[in-house]
Amino acid sequence: MTEVLEEPAVVKACLAVPTRGYIWHETAMQVGHLNPIFYREKLSVANVRNMIVRDFLENKHGEFELLFMCDDDVVPPTREFAQQMSVLPYDVVGCPTPMSKLPDMPIVLNIFNKREDGNWVTAQNLLPETGHMAVDAVGTGLIMIRRHVLEHPEMSMPFNQTLDSDGTIQVGQDINFCIRARSLGFTVGVSADLICDHFVGVHLNTIPYCYGNPINSPAEVKEITPSAA
């Protein structure tokens, strides 16, 4: 029997999906009812996010007060995510999403606070069991931004990374966006009730690193048969 999904409450908002040309089935099932607009990522993620903001402010897809962006590999935990995010008391709302820079970085939630030493660290240990909390920055896997933030004259070209003097990245486009927004008095928060899934395709040889185990040697790999794998 085909499962019939109950339609969630309608939220008047623009939902854009930055994509590399595909979208996970699980993502599509959770966001499809909001009639997402797909933007092909050709140059950089910051470039496509700025295109999305430009079209949003120009009302290209209709006049909305809320802009949602959901990456093509991020899966909201409920189809009610837009309604739940829209009622939170922040100008920018993010949903915690697992992230990692394989193979040498741990898997953490993409919600951040800045320490006194200037380093950015995940705020996942501060996340309550339920409810919401303010943070210094959120990732953009699933994010909601209120129109008045993007309309502020000092938030033009909203998404861009900052570079060190040698050209390496100092902070990414998502953290830099939140730094700028908070410097203007806007608030940034996250929901503990909306932790997303993040589907990332990786080479199988990288998986052991996720569990802290040494990678199999070529000799060991030969001993693995299809039936035992």
Report the CATH number that the domain containing residue 53 is assigned in CATH.
3.90.550.40
Q: Assess if residue 179 is contained within a domain.
A: yes
Q: Assess if residue 31 is contained within a domain.
A: yes
pLDDT in tens, 90-103: 999 999 998 876 55
Higher pLDDT, 122 or 105: 122
Q: Assess if residue 155 is contained within a domain.
A: yes
Q: Assess if residue 52 is contained within a domain.
A: yes
Q: Assess if residue 95 is contained within a domain.
A: yes
Q: Number of folded domains in the chain? A: 1
- Measured CA to CA, the distance from residue 143 to residue 7 in angstroms comes to 21
Q: Assess if residue 24 is contained within a domain.
A: yes
Identity (one letter) of the amino acid at 159?
F
Give just the sign of the alpha carbon dihedral 84, 88, 91, 92.
negative
Record the pTM.
0.82
Residue range of the domain that includes 178: 14-201
pLDDT of residue 123: 87
Of all residues in the chain, the percent with pLDDT exceeding 70 is 78
Q: How confident is the model at residue 214 (pLDDT cuts 50, 70, 90)?
A: very low
pLDDT of residue 171: 73
Indicate the average pLDDT of the chain.
Answer: 83
Structure-derived torsion over alpha carbons of residues 121, 125, 130, 133, reported in degrees to the nearest 10: -40
